[in-house]
Structures are given as structure tokens and as C-alpha cells.
Structure 1
Amino acid sequence: MTSDELARLAVHGVPDDVAWRWPGSYTVVAADDDGRTTIWTDVGGACPIYTLTVDGGVYWSSSSRALAGLTGNHIDPDWLAAWLAARGVSPLVDGRSAFTNVAALPAGHRVSVSANGTVDAQRVWWPRPRHADHVARLRHELTAAVALRVDVAESPTADLSGGYDSTSLVLLAAERLHPGRAVTGVTLHPDGITTGGDASYARLAGRMPGIDHQWLPLGAEHRPFGELDRVPVTDEPAPSALGYASFRAQLEWLRERRASDCHMTGDGGDALICTPALFLADLVRTRRYGRALADVMRWARLARRSVFPLLGAAVRTARTTRTDALDTVLTSLAEFGSQAAIGDVAWFPAASPPSWATDGLRERVAALASSAINAGRSTDGDDWPDFTTQHMASVMATTGRTARADVELAAWSGVPLHNPFLDSRLIDVCLSVPLADRRGPAEYKPLMRAAFDDLFPEPLKRRVSKGDMTPDYYQGLRANLAAVTDMADGRLAELRLASPAVLRRIIPLAAAGVPAAYGALETAISAEVWLRAIDTAPAVPWEAAKSIREAA
């Protein structure tokens, strides 16, 4: 946005498409003379805004923890319970934050905050199906998103993992900067191993003009579950918390060796570009039976499942709404170990309480589910073109807000972290692809592959999956077993959300490589690390000050 464009908004008023009118992730705030504040939230949730009603008025902030400093810095145990047992079921915590009484404004909305403390939110963004050249539109918007960052950065850097998402960002940056400048592409790798798997794809891309390809070796000291006592405080548990040792090492290298003032990652790309399995239910719902059967067969082959159960799931889900699906969540909350099978066609993953969950945790989540069912009946499906679009919009809003915690982690190390795939315009483009033009979930990012056909090296274009980091986490858990075990009797136990005895039993099983045990443990340790960071960090201080209007 230029200064002239900003001036026009001040004179002519702010249109409701302002939050996705320009490239980037941003919110827009307008303050009127009558004391009313209007906030247009971004589409992808990457720039969240929170409110707190207290002292007869409403405070708002880009940090929920900052607002919590006004009321004692109390964790919301209901939000935390839902995060632990039903992280993929966003309706349970819509409008809430991780802190008591601090509300989260919804993505893609216009929110009016009056001087007397009322808050009114109206959705102003829906993706409208467009019959257009979707490949060209994706390429154009991602190019603009990258240009926005690298044009103003003195030392731009980016992940270069070898996957589609990070590679596309690096190649676009190089195309923009070459021949006068270069982008530093950073590939993390186990010390002494720079061939095979993702590294081979990264090496091919790193040879392109305009890329300064750097290899950053990681040793035993950088394994996951290390340095958990050093994880900085964030608004909610950060995705990179368990891998903080390597994340911090990368950030420090970027700051000290490259003076990075803009580091781009491909976070959010999978959620945005990959078609969810729910799409199969949409095909049934819209009576595209032939294509539904064909795509279910392809998906069954990829997920290594039988065709008929998946087809049955697609038919059942086609007859439900997003709110109806919460009834299934309520049922699964009563059944320990009821995990969704890989590839299931459903609105939400099975919300199975982990084995260490207490009755109190399950009761909290069940109450949230009941409340969400009652609240959702009147608006379910309003103005959404199909199930897939509604689902993806919700997932992107959650993904963006969660990724914000990693941005906070990076800020503590002095590196500005950017996630272009969470930009509002890019989300609008990808979610405006009509149902008939979408490719099935069995195809690996065909839109991305087509959009970068001229840039991707040939071997990368043939890639049909991404690398697996799970073995590294098992090794890291074994190396840090004592420290992790000490966390069993921690804050989750104090909040009566976790059973310390059960946690102590599953920790060695997870370290031994039992997948179910590791899956149950990962969320508990992430939450415990975050709670300890909250406890040790000082609350955000506030002090009274006169507004500009009062001072005048």
C-alpha cells in the first residue's frame, strides 16, 4: 500500500475488500472521531487481533498475552483442553484465545468496536468461484507476495528444504533479484549427510542463478526435544517448540552470518495447495458420481485403504453439515484411542482424548462441543460455495494464527519471519477455484507443479510426496528422555488436565518408537513447554496514557 492509496482510504472511506486488496499479510484499523474503531482482519489469520472487555471498555491488541497482562495473565483451561484433545476441531474454540476472557477476532471480518464497549463482527470475505486461468493467477499472486518481501529487504533469506513450497519461494526470489542480487537459500541437514531425499531436490534448485545456496549442518545437540527450557514465551504453543534447538541454531546463523532482515518459509503451503479428502464428499453431494468413484479409488490406493469404506464415508459426510459433524466429535470424546484412519473423509479428525487425559479434560472439551453445536445451527454453510472451500478457509485461519507463534519465536532471535502462503490474496485465489476445476486429493499439488513448470527442476516436478522427519523426533526424545520425563509432573497435572502416572508410562514407549504413544505425548510436551514459558516470563506491563484526542 502506497501513501497515496492510504490517503485515498482516509478521504473516501475504507472498502470491505481492503484486507485482501494488496499483497501481504496485514490488518487494517480505522479510528473515527466518535470513538469507534473498525478493524478489518486478514483472511489467513496470520495477523490475529484480540480484544478484552474490561473497565467498561474494550482493549484490542495483536497479542493475546499482552491483553492477558491486564487481568492477571490467566490461561484459559477450556482452550487448552481443546488444543490438547481436539486440535483439528476449530469450532470448539472459535472466538477464544489461550487466555481467559481474551477474545480472538475471526479472520476475514469487519469488526466494529464502539466507545461504550460493544463489539460487532461481520464477515466480509467469502471466496467466490471464478472460472479463470488458476495456474496463472497462483503464479502471479505468489510472485507478488515474494516481491513485496525481497524488494525492501537488504539481505533476504529463505528455507530451501527441497519441497514444492519453499523451493517456489526461493526460485521466485532469485528470479526477482538476479542478476544484481541474490537470495540465500538455507538447507538444514544432518551433519555429514548432504545427499539423498530432500537434500537432492534442494541441491538441484540451489544451482539456479540468483541463489546463494547454503548448507547448515545439524549435530546431536540440535535434535528435537533439546533446549526445551530455552523456548521463549508466545501467545500459544508454537509449532517449532519441540524442534527449538535446530530452529534457534538456524535463526542465529541467519542473523549472525547473513544479517537476514526477511526470512521466508513455506509454512501454510500444504494446507492451501493440497485438496482435502472432504472434497470427495463434495463430489457425491453435487452428484458427480463417476468422478467421485474414480477419485475415491485413487485416494484409497494412496492411503492404502479399502475403497468401499472410504466411499461410504464420502456418502455419509455429503449428507452432513460442519455443525452436524460435531456430534461425531462428542461421541469420539468418550472413547479413548478412537483415532481417525489415514485418509478418512470427514469434516474433522477424530477428537480422541489422549491416554493421559483426565476426566476433567474430556468434560471441558465435551462442553465446548455442545456449545459449538448450539451456536452453529443458524449460520452453518452461509454463503459458502461448497464444503471444501468452507473447510479450507477454516483450516487456513487456524494455520495462520498458529504459524504466528513461530513468527514470535523468530522475533526473539532477531529474525523477521515471513510466510507468504498465508497472504490473504493468495488464499483468495486458491479458494476461488470452482469445485469442478479442483483436482482430487490423490494428486500432489498439481496447481503448484503447473504454475512453476518453467522454474522447477525436472526431478522436482516428478515428486509426489514430501520427506518424513519423524525418525529425528524419536532420536531426539531418546536423547532427552530424562528431561522429558521430568515434565510429567508439571503444569498440566496442576491444571488437572493430564495424569502424571500415565504420562510416565507412555514416555518410554514413545521413545522406543511406538507411533500411538508418540502421538499422544507430543501435544502434552508442547503444552508443558509453553506453560512453563508463560510462568517464567514476566506479564506484559501496562500503563495509563492519554489518547491523542484527549491530549489535544
Structure 2
Amino acid sequence: MGQWPDYELRATRHNHRFVAVIGPCTMPPGDMERLRTFGVPDQVAWRWPGSYTVMEITPQRTRVWTDLGGAWPIYVAAADDGVYWASSSLALAGLTGTKPNLDRLATWLVAPSVLLPAGPPHFEEIGLAPAGHRVTITPDNGVQMTRVWSPRPRSGRVSERLRAELSAAVSVRVDTASTPTVDLSGGYDSTALALLGQAATSADKTLIGVTVYPVGRAAGGDLDYARLAAARSGIVHRLMPLDADHVPYTGLNVLPATDEPAPSTIAYARFSGQLRWMRETLSTDCHMTGDGGDSLLCSPPIMLADLLATKCYRRGALEAIRWARLRRVSVWPLLKSAYQVAHTTHTETLRSLSQSLIADINNSAMEGDVGWYASDSVPPWATQESRTRAATAIASFPEWKQEPAIGSFAATLATEGMVEVGRSARADIQLSEAIGVPLHNPFTDSRVVDAYLSIPLAERPGPADYKPVLREALTNLFPSELAARRTKGDFNPDHYNGMRANLTELHALADGRLASSGLVDRTKLQRTLTMTAAGLPVPFSTVEPAVAAEAWLRSLDNTPGVRWVPTGNTGAGR
């Protein structure tokens, strides 16, 4: 599904072997010849720069290799006495007639920090192939999923590897685009892509950096950093003003249908407005964002448990002190929770969380969020039905999950975080396709993910460090003022304004599919929305998942299902 330019489609056949590589990729022509002649090795998933999936079909089997960053999710479903696989769960739901998976939605609503990178998808009776795996489908309808990649610690020259892979990831897009654009928000991640893109742009092509800003605030904060980066690099810089029509929570009734609730749902008015403006004003045919940079480049606090578990006590204590100072909390609860995590399996943690959800007990992580999930409490509008469904989904998670090795907690959590970002960003790409602008997220590319997550524990930056590897990788490109930055802009005022402007529509959303399914208490959710709009101390995390999920369900109701046409069997698997 989707829009596929010719340069993202490579396919060849040799005797009875059919091989295809789909997605932006810099594979040399000779490599395609070797694949079709000798078969596909497992390392193919991260062999070349870009973001792609690989498939091999023979009379004996169908094999599909998923990327490492989750940007190319592959789904499977049983139907017509066979096995179908597709790049869209929405498409398979149109084939099988399955409904949204309420267990998955419930987990997302009441425990959003619990990552489920391999299941279940947002539609019933549809399976998700984990990232970094090989899917094998045989003529007898057997389906096997085999892990072919996990982080491999490699010492030395991490910043050089990261720069080389990011440069290649950006070049893949810039080289094939006529008018490439990139977010230039003033932060590390988007600025890095813009600067590397400018360095990779040929003399006959222009890279345009796009910065959005609120009307009346044409200076200060993020905008100043964006202007500085553009001026130092020679990037063509275009500004798009945001007015009242672009505030969050606007236009949620016109969302196109996607595989799951899109990350940009709440900000859809701004997201779609920027894409349309770039298409109409700039004629962009490739837009890059820095999505995924935070999940990849910031070490999670669970790294403290890694250090204690591997008996690196001195560094563990030092990193805990630095993290405590940054968070303005006491260091001793941090060390205590890190010790507990180091001596408790992930499976035990998930089972404890599952039990606490059923019993309606607050099972928050220790102070400082040193754990496998954040210390978010269950929203006040969550029903017993939603807690029970979430508990069921979480309890089944350990059935397939391999327990992480000692010292690999941070790498495992970062890997799962990247998969979550990459897979959910596919929904944003579906939104952008409906507008006519190809969207790309280079930080989720397989080789970029592999390069950074290869950092050994002894060389990994601490959780208090703000992206030092990226800063070092671009030391000769980043303006010194940007390199010294350690904060991001605050968008909370825009969210409050948007919620107040759209409160009537949000109250109507609260009385929707989630409420009728028993997952949400309509009255309590409406009260929470009112309190949040009034500026009372209610975290946005207690309302945004419910609003995004309800908007997604309504988009499914308002969109015709994907239509399938029978054409016959073409090989092992459909």
C-alpha cells in the first residue's frame, strides 16, 4: 500500500527464486545479482544505507526480512486457507474483516510506557513480525519468526560511525529527490539532518530547511537556533507561521485511516498544514524529520541498573548522582530502585504490573524512573474493563520475549523504544501520503540504529548526558551555540490553547467508541479534559492517548475498508 516511486522498487527473478527490495536504499546493482543467484543472507536487513524490507519467494517458502528500526512493519494473517502478509495491518483488516484490538488499545491507554514491540497489533487476529527478524512462510501455512539481529557491542570510533551512517541515510533521500526539505526546529536531531543534507546536496539542487513558529513570535528560543544553523551552513531557510487554525486538538474529525493512532494525531492541524504548505509553496517531494533521535541518542535511566548488575559500582554511583542533580531528586531512592531492577527479571516486572492493574493498585516505578516503564499512574477515567484488558495483554508479553542479558538493559530498552517510534511513525507516513508528501525519518534507518546501539556499556553516555555522541559526530558542523544547548522548546502553552479552543469537540469525542466499548468512563474523561484545559496540574499524558485513540477509531468508521480483488495464489504465502 502507499505511493512507491520507481527507485524504491527493486525486483529480480532467477530460475524459481524471486527477490525484491522495497524502500529507499543504496544497494549496488551487483548485489541484487548476487541475491537472486545465491539467495538472501540474514545480514541483508542492515547491509545497505536506507530504510527498506527484503523478500525472497521460492516454491518452497516465502521469506521476509524486517528492518531494525521498525519503520517497515510486516503483518501476517490467516485467511482463505493460507497466510497473507502485508506492510499494512489496515489492509489485512480489510481482507479479514477484523475489528480494532481492544486489548491493545487498553494497554496503550492505561500503561502507555509499556512497550509491546512485537504485539499485538491494533487489529484482532493479525500478527506483527518483530523488527530485526526473518519471517518464513511455508506452503503448509507454517509461520516462523527468527531473530537475526540484536545490538552487538563494538568499541571505538562511535561518533565517526554515527556520522557516516547518518550522512548515508540523508544522502539516500537527497540524491533521489528534486526538492528535498527538512525540519529545522532548532534542536539537535533535525539540525543534524539539515546540516548533513546540505553537505550532501549537489550544486544543481537546493535543500530547504523549514521552521514553523507561532504568529507574533518570530524570534527567540528554537527559532533563533534554527536561524543560526541555516546562516552558518547556507541552507535555504523558509518559515511557516502557525495561527489559530493550527493549534493542537484541531481537525481531529478529518483524519485519514491508518494502521494505528498516529503520533501526530493531536497536532494534526499543524502537521497537515505544514505538509500542504510545503507541497504547494515549495513543491517538496521528500521531507525529513528528526523523529527517533531522542529514543536512540539518550540513554535511559535503567542504565544505572546495568552498571550495578555488572559491578561497576563507582560509575553507577557517579551516574546516579548526576541524574539525581538533573532531576532534583534524592540519590538514594535512585540507587535503591536501580539495585532492585538489577536483581529482578523483566518478566517478573511485567507480571507484577499486570497484577497491579487488575487490583487497581498504583505500581509506579521508583523515584527517578529507573525501571522498564515510567511511573505514570493509571488515568482517573480508566475503567476496570480497560485495566483488565491491559493486564491480559501485558501478562502475555513474556511468552515470546527473551530475557535481556545482564548489562544489556539500556540497549534492550533503547531497541524497543526505536521499534515503537519506527512502527508508529509509519502511521504518520500514511497521513503524509494522503496529503501527497513523502515523509522520511533517517534516525530509524537500520544502519543508523545498529551503529549507535553497538556502543558497549563502558562507553555509553550516562542518562544525564544530552546526546554527546551526536554532538561529537557533528563537532565541525554544529554552531557552538547549538552544541552548548541542553534543552528544548516548551509547547505546553500551545496545547492548553488548543484544548480550550476545542473543548466542546473534545467532550464529544469522550462520548464515543472507547466509552461504548467500556474502556473509558465518559464523565471522568470529560472532567479530566475540562481540568486540563483550565490549566490545572493534570499531565497531558492522561488525556492525549484517549483523544488520539478515539480519533483513530472514528477515522476507521469514516473511511471505506481496503478492497481486495482475488487474483489466485502466486507462491508460498499470499
Q: So what's the TM-score if we normalise by structure 2?
A: 0.92
The answer (yes or no) to whether the contact 1:41–1:106 under 8 Å persists in 2 is: yes
* Aligned pairs for 1:254-293 within 5 A: 254-293=278-317
Structure 2 partner of 1:15: 41
How many Å apart are 1:237 and its aligned residue? 0.3
Q: Percent identity?
A: 48
Is 1:147 the counterpart of 2:179? The answer is: no
Provide the C-alpha distance between the structure 2 equivalents of 1:33 and 1:255, rounded to a whole number of angstroms.
Answer: 44
2:119 corresponding residue in structure 1? 95
Which residue in 2 is equivalent to 1:357? 382
Aligned to 2:275: 251
Three-state SS of the structure 2 residue aligned to 1:516 is coil
Is 2:541 aligned against 1:519? yes
Residue 414 of structure 1 is matched in structure 2 by 436
In the other structure, the counterpart of 2:517 is 495
CA contact (8 A) 2:309 2:407 kept: no
After the TM superposition, which of the residue ranges 327-336 and 214-223 deviates more from structure 2? 327-336
Aligned equivalents of 1:548, 1:124: Cα separation in 2: 27
- Does the Cα contact within 8 Å between 1:85 and 1:365 map onto a contact in 2? yes
1:309 aligns with 2:368: no
Deviation at 1:95, TM superposition (A): 3.0
The within-5 A match list for 1:196-235 is: 196-235=220-259
> How do 1:17-416 residues align onto structure 2 when only pairs under 5 Å count?
17-34=43-60, 36-91=61-116, 94-177=118-201, 179-333=203-357, 334-335=359-360, 340=365, 343-350=368-375, 352-376=377-401, 379-381=402-404, 386-416=408-438
Contact 1:356-1:502 within 8 A present in 2 as well:
yes
Q: Could you tell me how far 1:331 is from its partner in structure 2? A: 4.7
Number of residue pairs matched by the alignment: 545
Which structure 1 segments of 5+ residues have no match? none
Distance 1:332 1:196, change over 3 A: farther
Is the CA contact 1:181–1:210 (under 8 Å) kept in the aligned structure 2? Answer: no
Equivalent pair of 2:257/2:555 in contact (CA under 8 Å): yes
94-103 or 17-26: which moved more? 94-103
Instruction: Find the counterpart in structure 1 of residue 23 from structure 2.
Output: none
Letter in 2 for 1:238: A
Residue deviations 1:81-120 (CA, integer Å, cap 9, x gap): 11111222124x7332100101111100011011221100
Measure the CA separation in 1 of the matches of 2:363 and 2:212: 36
Give structure 2 stretches of 5+ with no counterpart.
1-26
Q: Does 1:5 align with 2:5?
A: no
Change (3 A) 1:79 1:548: closer
Mapped to 1, the partners of 2:294 and 2:523 lie a distance apart of: 36
The code of the aligned residue for 1:152 comes to: T
The letter for the 2-side match of 1:186 is: V
Residues 223, 472 of structure 1: 8 Å contact kept = yes
Superposed displacement of residue 428, structure 1: 0.4
Distance 1:177 1:74 in 2: 45
* Mean Cα deviation higher: 335-344 or 150-159: 335-344
Describe the shift of the 1:189–1:174 C-alpha distance in structure 2 as closer, same or farther (beyond 3 A): same
Indicate the larger mover: 165-174 or 66-75.
66-75
Residue equivalent to 2:13: none
CA positional deviation for 1:2:
3.0
Question: Could you say if the C-alpha distance between residues 325 and 336 of structure 1 is closer, same or farther in structure 2, counting changes exceeding 3 Å?
Answer: closer
Offset from partner CA, 1:494-526 (integer Å, 9 cap, x none) = 111001111121111010123425331111111
Q: Deviations over 1:6-26 (max 9, x none)?
A: 111010111101010001111
Change (3 A) 1:431 1:174: same
User: One-letter code of the match for 1:173?
Assistant: G
Give per-residue Cα distances to partners, 1:184-238, cap 9 Å, x unaligned.
1000000121211111100101113441100100001110011111111110001
SS of structure 1 residue aligned to 2:77: strand
Say if 2:481 is the partner of 1:455: no
RMSD across aligned positions (CA): 1.7
| Secondary structure, counterpart of 2:209 in structure 1 | strand
| Whole-angstrom CA distance in 2 between matches of 1:549 and 1:509 | 56
**Whole-angstrom distance in 2 between the partners of 1:101 and 1:307:** 46
Stretch of structure 1 that moved more, 212-221 or 467-476: 467-476
Q: Where do 4+ consecutive residues of structure 1 move more than 4 Å?
A: 336-342, 547-550
SS at match of 2:92: helix
Distance of aligned partners of 1:533 and 1:119 in 2 relative to their CA distance in 1, 3 Å threshold: same
CA contact (8 A) 2:183 2:211 kept: yes
TM-aligned CA deviation for residue 72 of structure 1: 1.7
SS in 2 for 1:69: helix
Distance 1:211 1:183 in 2: 6
CA distance in 2, matches of 1:370, 1:148: 41
Rounded to whole Å, the distance in 1 between the matches of 2:516 and 2:491 is 32
Q: Does 1:423 align with 2:449?
A: no
Distance 1:48 1:485 in 2: 34
Task: Please identify, of 422-431 and 341-350, the stretch whose mean Cα deviation from structure 2 is larger.
Answer: 341-350
Classify the secondary structure of the residue corresponding to 1:89.
Answer: coil
